[in-house]
Structure 1
Amino acid sequence: MKFTFSPLGLLLLVSAPSFALTLEQGDQHWQIDPDTLAIILKQDSQTFTINQGSLQIDGQTQQATQVTQSAEQATWTLKPSGVQVSAQLQQGLNIHFRWPSAVGIERQAPKALRWFDLSEASTQTLLLPFDEGMRVPTDNPTWTRYLIDNHSGANTTQDLKMPFWSAQQSEHFISYQLLNATNNQLHFSEQQNKLDLQAEHWFTPLNQSEPFSMRITVGDEMLAGAKAYRDWREAAGLRVSLAEKRKANPQIEKMMGASHVYLFGRDLIAVQDVRDWWGLRDWFWRSEFTPSPELQKELASLKKGQDWLNQYQKKLLVGEINQALNQKFSAAPSSIQAQYQAAQQRKAWLTEHAGAYLKPSDQWGQGLAQPMISTLQQAGLSKLWLGLDNWMPAFYQPQVVDSAKQAGYLIGVYDSYNTAIEKGINDSWLTAQLPDRMRENCAIEKADGTLQLGFRGNGFYLNPACELGYVKQRVQDILHFGRFNSLFLDVDGTAMAREDYRSLSNETAMLAAFNTRMQDIANTPNLILGSEDGNALTTQGLVFAHGMETVGFGWTDQAMKSDKQSPYYLGNWYPDEKPDFFFKSAQVKEPYRSLLFAPEYKVPLYQTVFHDELISNHHWHSDSLKFSNVKAVRDLRAMLFNTPAMVHLSRDETHKNSARIEQLKHYQQGFLPLHEQLWDKALVDFRWLDKQGQVQQTRYSDGSILSANFSAQPFKLTGGEVLAPHTLMAKLSNGETLTWAPMP
């Protein structure tokens, strides 16, 4: 490896196997042991332990040879591995490792480069972007146990949402950015009663020509690492602001200040669409369909004038009618056009045969129905993103989609191209009904020769570079028949990078393929594209993402998953039109309540990087109303970080004073004026106003200041204003002052 130095640079050739290097720039003096990669920084009369010396390659310690050095650069070769290393001071300390081209790697025997070992003794806090941003005291045993159990072995593309972390030593923050974030793992452990962190990179047959590079910087604030990463993305040409995106697509204006709403239910009619229950019951008994034993048990003996149908019986009857129609006019797994035609056939047939017992067919629908859109308008909700988890409701009632757009709303549907399953396995899982050629030819092949199983072990995961022509056509068909002006593309935004030995594509290529696919779809005129998470490495074309502000947790916790008597039980995944999992209120148990929701453990790392580039929200498993005992904290933090609320709705919410509609109205009162002012501004400062982190403040690039009091006590701000408990106060640069507090 060669460097060209300035005439003033002193070039040394050192033959000894170990040599303490010192690189100097300004007041920074970086001392590096090239054998072990132990690094010490001396700056401003302070000494920081940047990295403990524990370098190993393929499980072996190394010795440095062929060491060259100037004032700001050094190179050496490690033996016995032959890995070439360079270090350079340029906006921090940049270190690059290159695998020797003459040394091959077997596909089932990748080579591990263990390069990082946290100085746990001198580190007080870790800042980790496993979500919006975690602040982790390294002497907290609960945090240590949680990270060991839940994040040890994490990768740095999908698990770590942005490829950096920061370690606080005294008043300084040392940040470690992975310039190429693929094929890495983080390992947490406990050492000397403190949290420890190690990192390693894996060289494989598919990535061995790519150097592994990282950058180490030092700052004096919690946001220093996020700001450095934002600057790096800007310099690399990766950042596309919302303002730039709006110039290309003015429809983005509709996202400014919009709350996000998922409308549940995918079948033709709802209980609310029936006007003559006795007539409908008698018709179903006379029809070509056969009532199930359960329905016969519940309804056969009831007599008009003597009995009445309870809510369960009504839902049972409507459910069987919908199921019978779905079977009579099968929609899957045919083409999108065939699914649209099946939807229209069901609607026409039911209108002809049972219309006398139902309300007008243009009013039918479960979540997506004209009464729902009318209710949202009557409630004064001016800006909304509406989402469906299935396109069939729009195929039943495309005119309702038009009505939503005329109301000024964005309306989109969930779609995905990452798992393909065989026909007949689960035909209601429409997105996974992909052509056989995709399932057979696009499945990812692992290093051991087996195929990568798909979501929850079903089918196979697919390479996103495969069959782009089919993907583009299906997307266009969905948008055409569903008349959507938005699309939610599942998984693509999560940076779920894998190696594919079938196509010989590495993780870097897979990330590029996700970005290419999203950008191609986003280029559709007037379409607003969103995806899952919005991880830093897969954001091209995205305007919004769901998942960053509340990530999934406790997947294996029995109290949350199985114990129906527990206050922490999340709920069943049924009924389809209003699943308890999404609508049932639950409490968050410890330690999740403290670690994942307490204000003192949250830092707006993601918003520092992406606030004016991409609108982030909760994962759809956990809308703003899901968790009763942390609702106020989540709501205040969303306002402080200027991110929208998410509220799930079902057809039984179709009156403007329903509890969930009232919550949406209240969110709009706070978020709409804030986001319309701040959507194109950077989050530039975050600080605690008290010592416990219960009163926090964010500042944006226009000078707007938002202060939130998470505590139960009033707090006096420096300007003399008293900030009430559980309240946010915003002083906007346009002169407006806004005060907002969460509803119970």
Structure 2
Amino acid sequence: MKKCTIYLSLTAIALSLSACNINKTNATDKSEELIANKEVEKNKTYAKTDFSFDVDPTTFAVSITENGEKAEVSKPQEAKEVTDLKKKNEEVSWTYPNEQLKVTLKKETNHLAVTLTSLSDEDNTVTWPKLDAKNYILPIAEGKTIPNDQKEWLAYFNQNEELSMSEAFSMSFFTTNHETFAATFVTDNTFNNDLLTKTEPHLTLEASHHFIGFDKNKTVHYRLYITDNDPVAIAKTYQMDRIKLGAFKTLDEKEKENPEIKEMRGAIQVYYWNSRILNTEDINWRKLPKMIDQPIFQWIGELLNQYGEDGSEEYLNALEAFKRNEGYKYEKNTFLTSLNYVLLYPQFYNKDIFKNPDAEAKNLIEKGLDQLSEQERYTLNKHLLAGVTADLTPPLEQWGQVTSSDVFKEMKKAGIENAWIGLPNWANGLMNPSMVKTAADEGYLIGPYDSYQSIQENASIDWNTASFPNSDLYENATVTKKNGEKVAGFLGKGRKLNPTLVFPDVEERFKGITQNGIPFNSWFLDTDAAGEIYNDYSPDHLTTQTEDVAGRLKRMAYFNQKGLVVGSEGGNDFASKEMVFAHGIETPVIMWSDPDMRENKDSDYYVGSYAALDGGIPTKYKKVVPIKEEYKAIYTDPVYSLPLYKLVYNRSVITSHQWEWDSYKIKDQVGERRMKEYLYNTPPMMHLDKNSWEEHKQDISENAKIWSPFQKKALQHEMTNFQVLTDDRLVQKTEFGETLSVIANFSKTDYNSDGVHVASQTALIMNDGKETVVKIEE
């Protein structure tokens, strides 16, 4: 892939050199708040009020009449017996005795309220509404517009005939487009809801809700809103529904509670890989062959043999190769991986090997090995190793800094003012606290990946997120299916944890990680906002999906209260009040089930593995791959994409890609995705280590100088408008307030209209009359 380049117009040069046009120092917080409030006031006007409804209780078909036009928004179901039918004014209610379901429809000022109540104490399922329309607007990831005859979408839904809405939908609504209006069905949440699909003769949909017998809440609420056939009207109406429900919180409000959030504005998103405290640069390879027989290197082999998942064979073979002066790249990486791995071991200290520990090591040993924190244990192990490898390694304070702290300093010198840096594990920070401190000192946010999704009985050090000191959790705090089986953990290992039962363990883990003052200022919680939630049928701790989510939000709130900037995978809006950023809304995981992408290593589409021979970026995140043509419509094609989430949450949640699909990952789409990042106000994301930084630093730094001020202004506003400017839908425009807009031309021809020129394959940023042209060459 050729180096990506950003070309600026002459007026844009002034924009990038003088941030005054974006960071207006004379704009007070109060005036910005007034502007934002004015934008929200407009959003109240999109839902129509002058409509009427008809319903056939026997078939539960519902029709809406608006401005003289009538459309059947929910199609007839199979006829059912009806009792207790009542009609008064603009309200209708009845009971389905065989289904044990009570139904009420009532016309409210700006919506039709539909209430479904289960009369059973057992699990009960109801399907409604039944949808058959020319086009659907669904909150899949950021948002999609789906014609009912589009072949790739038909193939997708043919493979996904039953979608869990809590996982598949980022927001709690779905919309059908009719001739003169759109009908949007909104629920309080998507818990226990499925979307049932049929693809013959064209795409039809049906919603299914599961009432859980032990759930005291036996009612599901739909609010049916009527708007113009405009994604802006649909999204803004949903936003007003969330605000009325008390489920909306702006970044400004969050920032008042946690000032650190300010550093997230304008930040590029970086996953940083530095799993080694000792790197190639830290070893005097010429001296190693003469030192191979020293006891320390035999001890490392014993530790690997006893505690390592892969044993010690490869390591011992590498030692033999070094003895013969045949230690090449593979052997060096094997040696380094082994050294760094055993530094994590609580069993590393051996008084017969480390006979003369330095003063700090002595103090830690005297404290008691079983009394040491995780960070102290790593500190002890580093000092022990340094004491016996002084001829082989540099002074301890220099270990690993060239490939970590020095890179962050270079980033700042290159003009990257704002960055979020995610570490793959908290151990990376505890092993290298200087790296974390440097990032924080440079003004960056830095935090670890953390997970409370799964637990394993005997988790390896590599999988420390699945390990908990409390041995009772595996049997007593894991999720049980209705049939009595335990829900398997990630990749089929272990079990899924019930989040309502592990909060004390969340506190214990956090306190253990931070007790020595590691300056993490952010925290990333895997899957908590991804919608993978459960009803737990364990007799001792029956738990509904609503309670499951409440447990997740409680721990997100806990990290917020600790002053950390909290993010999560996914970004589903049940967590929008607690999270600041989300990874997965803009590009979700692409086709997890495709063997060509996940299993067949000879396939051009194979995304890579979790392994990294050199201790840097795993190939899963570094390897550039194409995606199959049939997946483009589903995941990346702008023709079917809508910024629904941004129209609702632009001022509330900062969203980016799922980490498997960073800004550089998809072959031949780097430019298209860069344009869309500006169009949708999506932070660029990349996986970096020292080598990757060297490869991409010019592109990253040049883009960051434009991105940061752009987003800082965009976040002061709603996304106020979205327009498709051409019939082929390849030229699109977004607006953020009255003076900031972006036109992205995804087509192969130039766009000219009303004095505005946008060349093919470019994006045009317009800010207070100034123009910035973003163009990528691949």
1:213, distance to aligned residue in structure 2 (A): 1.4
Q: Which of 674, 697, 705 is matched with 2:710 structurally?
A: 674
1:299, distance to aligned residue in structure 2 (A): 6.3
Classify the secondary structure of the residue corresponding to 1:157.
helix
Partner Cα separation in structure 2 for residue 483 and residue 190 of structure 1? 53
The runs of at least 4 aligned residues of structure 1 exceeding 6 Å deviation read none
1:348 corresponds to 2:348: no
Between stretches 349-358 and 321-330, larger displacement belongs to 321-330
Where do 1:98-113 residues align within 5 Å?
98-100=117-119, 103-105=120-122, 110-113=123-126
Partner Cα separation in structure 1 for residue 436 and residue 221 of structure 2? 48
Q: Which of 103, 116, 134 is matched with 2:144 structurally?
A: 134
Partner Cα separation in structure 1 for residue 144 and residue 127 of structure 2? 24
Q: Which of 361, 381, 390 is matched with 2:416 structurally?
A: 381
Whether contact under 8 Å (2:251, 2:580) holds in the other structure is yes
1:31 corresponds to 2:54: yes
Partner Cα separation in structure 2 for residue 410 and residue 385 of structure 1? 5
Whether contact under 8 Å (2:152, 2:633) holds in the other structure is no
Whether contact under 8 Å (1:647, 1:660) holds in the other structure is no
2:772 paired residue number: 738
Distance 1:173 1:479, change over 3 A: farther
Between stretches 276-285 and 545-554, larger displacement belongs to 276-285
1:673, distance to aligned residue in structure 2 (A): 1.7
Partner Cα separation in structure 2 for residue 149 and residue 691 of structure 1? 30
Distance 1:34 1:646, change over 3 A: same
1:403 paired residue number: 438
1:96 paired residue number: 115
1:280 corresponds to 2:297: no
1:34, distance to aligned residue in structure 2 (A): 1.0
1:728 corresponds to 2:763: yes
Classify the secondary structure of the residue corresponding to 1:591.
helix
Distance 1:367 1:726, change over 3 A: farther
Partner Cα separation in structure 2 for residue 691 and residue 515 of structure 1? 43
2:511 paired residue number: 476
Distance 1:353 1:699, change over 3 A: same
Greater RCO structure (CA 8 Å; 6+ sep)? 2
* TM-score, normalised with respect to structure 1: 0.88
1:369 paired residue number: 404
2:584 paired residue number: 547
1:573 corresponds to 2:610: yes
Classify the secondary structure of the residue corresponding to 2:164.
coil
1:437 corresponds to 2:450: no
Partner Cα separation in structure 1 for residue 247 and residue 346 of structure 2? 50
TM-superposition CA deviations, 1:495-532 (whole Å, max 9, x none)? 3321122322211122222222211221113x111111
Distance 1:586 1:536, change over 3 A: same
Gaps in structure 2 of 5+ consecutive residues: 1-47, 302-311, 350-368
Whether contact under 8 Å (1:715, 1:722) holds in the other structure is yes
Q: Which of 28, 34, 40 is matched with 2:63 structurally?
A: 40
Partner Cα separation in structure 2 for residue 367 and residue 129 of structure 1? 44
1:287, distance to aligned residue in structure 2 (A): 3.4
Between stretches 313-322 and 136-145, larger displacement belongs to 313-322
* TM-score, normalised with respect to structure 2: 0.85
Gaps in structure 1 of 5+ consecutive residues: 1-24, 56-60
1:652 paired residue number: 691
Distance 1:286 1:550, change over 3 A: same
Partner Cα separation in structure 2 for residue 383 and residue 329 of structure 1? 40
Distance 1:370 1:561, change over 3 A: same
1:212 corresponds to 2:220: yes
Which amino acid counterpart does residue 528 of structure 1 have in structure 2? V
Q: Which of 144, 148, 173 is matched with 1:164 structurally?
A: 173
Q: Which of 643, 656, 674 is matched with 1:635 structurally?
A: 674
TM-superposition CA deviations, 1:681-707 (whole Å, max 9, x none)? 111221111101111001123442211
1:479, distance to aligned residue in structure 2 (A): 3.3
1:709 corresponds to 2:775: no
Distance 1:38 1:728, change over 3 A: same
Partner Cα separation in structure 1 for residue 519 and residue 178 of structure 2? 54
Classify the secondary structure of the residue corresponding to 1:417.
coil
TM-superposition CA deviations, 1:131-173 (whole Å, max 9, x none)? 11122111112211112213x2112222212111111223532
Whether contact under 8 Å (1:268, 1:322) holds in the other structure is yes
Whether contact under 8 Å (1:560, 1:569) holds in the other structure is yes
Partner Cα separation in structure 2 for residue 454 and residue 335 of structure 1? 30
Q: Which of 715, 727, 731 is matched with 1:695 structurally?
A: 731
Partner Cα separation in structure 1 for residue 524 and residue 412 of structure 2? 23
Partner Cα separation in structure 2 for residue 180 and residue 195 of structure 1? 24
1:18 paired residue number: none
Whether contact under 8 Å (1:487, 1:530) holds in the other structure is yes
Where do 1:297-376 residues align within 5 Å?
300=320, 310-327=328-345, 329=347, 338-365=373-400, 369-376=404-411
Distance 1:335 1:421, change over 3 A: farther
Classify the secondary structure of the residue corresponding to 2:297.
coil
Where do 1:477-626 residues align within 5 Å?
477-481=512-516, 482-502=518-538, 503-525=541-563, 527-575=564-612, 576-626=615-665
Partner Cα separation in structure 1 for residue 99 and residue 597 of structure 2? 48
1:15 paired residue number: none
1:263, distance to aligned residue in structure 2 (A): 1.0
Which amino acid counterpart does residue 258 of structure 2 have in structure 1? N
Q: Which of 211, 229, 254 is matched with 2:263 structurally?
A: 254
Classify the secondary structure of the residue corresponding to 2:397.
helix
Distance 1:480 1:281, change over 3 A: farther
Whether contact under 8 Å (1:362, 1:397) holds in the other structure is no
Partner Cα separation in structure 2 for residue 215 and residue 506 of structure 1? 23
Distance 1:480 1:338, change over 3 A: closer
1:422, distance to aligned residue in structure 2 (A): 0.9
Where do 1:69-84 residues align within 5 Å?
69-84=87-102
Partner Cα separation in structure 2 for residue 368 and residue 248 of structure 1? 35
Between stretches 318-327 and 549-558, larger displacement belongs to 318-327
2:209 paired residue number: 201
Distance 1:548 1:336, change over 3 A: farther
TM-superposition CA deviations, 1:652-684 (whole Å, max 9, x none)? 346xxx222223213313321210111131112
TM-superposition CA deviations, 1:410-457 (whole Å, max 9, x none)? 00001112211112x423211111121222221122222222222122
Partner Cα separation in structure 2 for residue 659 and residue 394 of structure 1? 24
Distance 1:251 1:84, change over 3 A: same
Which amino acid counterpart does residue 121 of structure 2 have in structure 1? G
1:196, distance to aligned residue in structure 2 (A): 1.1
TM-superposition CA deviations, 1:302-321 (whole Å, max 9, x none)? 689xx775433322221232
Q: CA RMSD in A?
A: 2.4
Classify the secondary structure of the residue corresponding to 2:512.
helix
Partner Cα separation in structure 2 for residue 277 and residue 401 of structure 1? 28
Distance 1:673 1:432, change over 3 A: same
Partner Cα separation in structure 2 for residue 163 and residue 87 of structure 1? 19
Q: Which of 175, 182, 189 is matched with 2:184 structurally?
A: 175
Which amino acid counterpart does residue 685 of structure 1 have in structure 2? N
1:458 paired residue number: 493
Classify the secondary structure of the residue corresponding to 2:574.
coil
Whose helix proportion is higher, 1 or 2? 2
TM-superposition CA deviations, 1:439-492 (whole Å, max 9, x none)? 222112222222222212222211211132231232233234432011001121
